[in-house]
Amino acid sequence: MTAGSHILFYLSDRQELTIWYGDWDDFFEDKELGPRPGRKVDWLAKNGWCLDHVEILDSTMTGAGRGAFMKRHLAEGEIVLPAPLQVFQNRDIFKNTVPEQLYVNYCLQPENSNMIFFPYGPAVGTINHSKRLANVRYQWSSHPLHRADMLDMTYRQFWEAIYPGALILELVALRDLHPGEELFMDYGDAWEAAWNSHVAAWKPPPDADEYVYPEDMDETDILRTVVEQETHPYPKNLITMCVTADHDRKKRQGVWREPEGEWAEYMVYCHILDRRLGSNGDYEYDVSLLFFKRELEPFTPKEYEYDKTQLRENLFVS
């Protein structure tokens, strides 16, 4: 899905849930895909899940980051959200990720097993831990799409049969839930002991007090050139990137072109060389596109330094 994708909920007699896929719309319009799907409301009520009981806001728990909050009333025992599971055979596959915690902190791992399960239901990963305030819990789904028989298979049978979405958990209300109420789950004694041990031993990384969340940056502000950043630098944890078409890299100069999509391959590190006010009142920028550095990873201080004699080898004008 592109960043502009959104879900449309239709409740008329001949419409089912549909989703806009952004740039993929052009692809589907060129294909013979048959008649538009149609499902009646009673079918949806029996076979579907409501995905918008919950919204993501800042947590009321200090230091917890984001949290999940109820948008409407649900009675005790009702399903709050579905949580289909993506299953990975061995947690070790995440050891080379940067950092590993970005993945495994949102996963479930059976005791005495290397398997790891990622619940990818909407907002599920933002439900914080609390024994005292717990108001939801996981249970295996009773929905026909859930393959309950796979839970009794041997290890070999399981991996021969598993497919994405075959196992489904559900978040269930432990009591009546009310609009605006934050959701909490008891992660269990083992998790809490491990967390307390981590907190006792953890030390903040260097320059942690200088960290700035990208969401806190003013995106309407003018972009600073590399010269301006010598005296007024961006925070060390942030970098500048362009969403741009894959230009002819042999050309020393060219005009910026809009990319064909919003995918990661159009993200290119860049340095901002110059800025001027265009005829339409918007700013135009000269940038150096750093095609030689395509991996989406942070700059080290040394890599962030720039060579004024080299920058204009890949100069493009917007």
pLDDT (tens digit per residue) in 144-194: 889 999 999 999 999 999 998 899 999 999 999 999 999 999 999 999 999
Is 41 strand, coil or helix?
helix
Enumerate the H helices of the chain as residue ranges.
24-29, 41-47, 101-104, 155-161, 189-201, 228-231, 301-304
- Tell me which fold the domain 49-201 belongs to: Beta-clip-like (2.170.270)
Whole-prediction pTM: 0.62
Q: What is the pLDDT of residue 129?
A: 95
pLDDT tens by residue, 215-227: 788 878 888 988 8
Q: What is the pLDDT of residue 51?
A: 87
pLDDT tens by residue, 19-65: 555 555 555 555 555 555 567 888 877 778 888 899 999 999 998 88
pLDDT of 85 over the 50 cut: yes
pLDDT tens by residue, 104-137: 888 998 888 889 999 988 899 999 999 999 999 9
CB-based contact 23:260 (threshold 8 Å): yes
CB-based contact 212:237 (threshold 8 Å): yes
Name 82's bridge partners: 170
- 256-277: string of b/e by CB count within 10 Å (b at 16+)? beebeeeeeebebbbbbbebee
More confident residue, 289 or 130: 130
Q: What is the pLDDT of residue 227?
A: 87
Q: Cα(272)–Cα(287) distance, rounded to whole angstroms?
A: 5
Residues above pLDDT 90, as percent of the chain:
34
Burial of 285 by CB count in 10 Å (0-12 exposed, 13-18 middle, 19+ buried)?
buried
pLDDT of 142 over the 80 cut: yes
The answer for residues whose C-beta is within 8 angstroms of residue 109's C-beta and 6 or more apart is 91, 115, 116, 117
Bridge pairing between strands 54-58 and 6-8: unpaired
End-to-end CA distance of the chain: 27
Supply 269's token pair: 């590190």
Bridge pairing between strands 128-129 and 184-185: parallel
Q: Where are the domains of the chain?
A: 49-201, 221-317
Q: What is the pLDDT of residue 36?
A: 57
Q: What is the pLDDT of residue 167?
A: 95
